[in-house]
């Protein structure tokens, strides 16, 4: 199958199955069309990581903004994740394609070993079933595993997550949508939090419902990640978490 044929199948999936907005589908079409043109539409199974990195490097060399590059890489990663899930590919070569830092993402961790140590420590803390520990582990696994902005993760709703395909629908500035994949470690941590941690935090919101507005209760009911008092977690709390955990590593 040629890359262009697979792209059409992916775009149809986004539109017909995922019900992604037409504007978002057009953005994905534009990004993936550029990749097809760069690669000269080879067979999909022949595409490797070096070719994807060359495509990324050429755009960067031409002065492409980091925000645009990050969006394009997200489009490509979503496409290859879909192709693997559909059985079109045996492996997802885009998993090691790295997005440039943009906007207010989490601070980069000094080394891969340090990040691994932080996540391992959080995983160990979550084993006792503490809801905050479960949430913190899931939060960092999801953010670092997807490259998403902190604000996008804070705004993540339960129905934005496709656990079967391991993808998330994120909303950025201007309510622009994009779909990004995440890995097995993030899925495992997220499931543990949703089953054992989130219900406890959600109950805290119910206990304090008299002091919260109807709108706040509604958004907390939809939110994936909740704060200590049961409301939707905010960016400040996430940045404080990273500063604390990375500083202790």
Residue 216's pLDDT is 60
Residue 81's pLDDT is 92
Distance, CA of 35 to CA of 97 (rounded, Å) = 14
Distance, CA of 140 to CA of 150 (rounded, Å) = 10
Residue 42's pLDDT is 92
Task: Parse the chain into domains and list their residue ranges.
Answer: 3-96, 112-248
Residue 113's pLDDT is 58
The secondary structure of 137-204, three-state, reads HHHHHHHHHHCCCHHHHHCCEHHHEECCCCEEEEECHHHCEEEEECCHHHHHHHHHHHHHHHHHHHHH
Supply angle C-alpha 107, 96, 59, rounded to 5: 80
pLDDT tens string 97-106: 776 655 444 5
Indicate the CATH number of 112-248 among 3.90.1210.10, 2.60.40.1180, 1.10.443.10, 3.20.20.70.
1.10.443.10
Residue 68's pLDDT is 78
Residues of the chain with pLDDT under 50: 103-105, 108-110, 210-211
Residue 77, token pair as written in the block? 């990663």
| Pairing mode, strands 161-162 and 167-171 | antiparallel
Distance, CA of 79 to CA of 76 (rounded, Å) = 5
Centre a 10 Å sphere on the Cβ of residue 104 and count the other Cβ atoms it contains: 12
3-96: CATH architecture: Orthogonal Bundle (1.10)
Residue 109's pLDDT is 44
Q: Is the pTM of this model over 0.75?
A: no
């Amino acid at each position: 199958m040629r890359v262009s044929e697979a792209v059409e199948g992916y775009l149809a999936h986004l539109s017909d199955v995922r019900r992604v907005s037409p504007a978002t589908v057009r953005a994905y079409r534009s990004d993936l069309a550029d990749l097809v043109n760069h690669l000269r539409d080879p067979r999909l199974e022949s595409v490797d990581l070096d070719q994807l990195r060359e495509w990324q490097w050429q755009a960067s060399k031409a002065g492409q903004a980091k925000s645009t590059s990050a969006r394009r890489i997200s489009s490509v990663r979503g496409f290859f994740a879909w192709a693997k899930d559909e059985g079109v590919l045996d492996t997802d070569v885009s998993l090691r394609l790295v997005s440039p830092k943009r906007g207010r993402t989490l601070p980069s961790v000094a080394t891969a070993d340090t990040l691994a140590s932080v996540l391992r420590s959080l995983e160990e803390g979550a084993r006792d079933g503490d809801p905050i520990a479960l949430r913190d582990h899931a939060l960092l696994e999801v953010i670092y595993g997807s490259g998403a902005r902190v604000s996008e993760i804070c705004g993540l709703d339960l129905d934005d997550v496709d656990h079967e395909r391991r993808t998330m629908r994120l909303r950025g500035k201007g309510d622009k949508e994009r779909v990004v994949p995440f890995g097995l470690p993030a899925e495992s941590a997220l499931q543990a939090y949703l089953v054992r941690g989130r219900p406890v935090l959600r109950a805290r919101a119910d206990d304090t419902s008299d002091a919260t507005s109807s709108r706040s209760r509604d958004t907390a009911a939809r939110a994936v990640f909740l704060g200590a008092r049961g409301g939707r977690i905010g960016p400040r709390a996430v940045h404080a978490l990273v500063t604390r955990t990375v500083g202790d590593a």
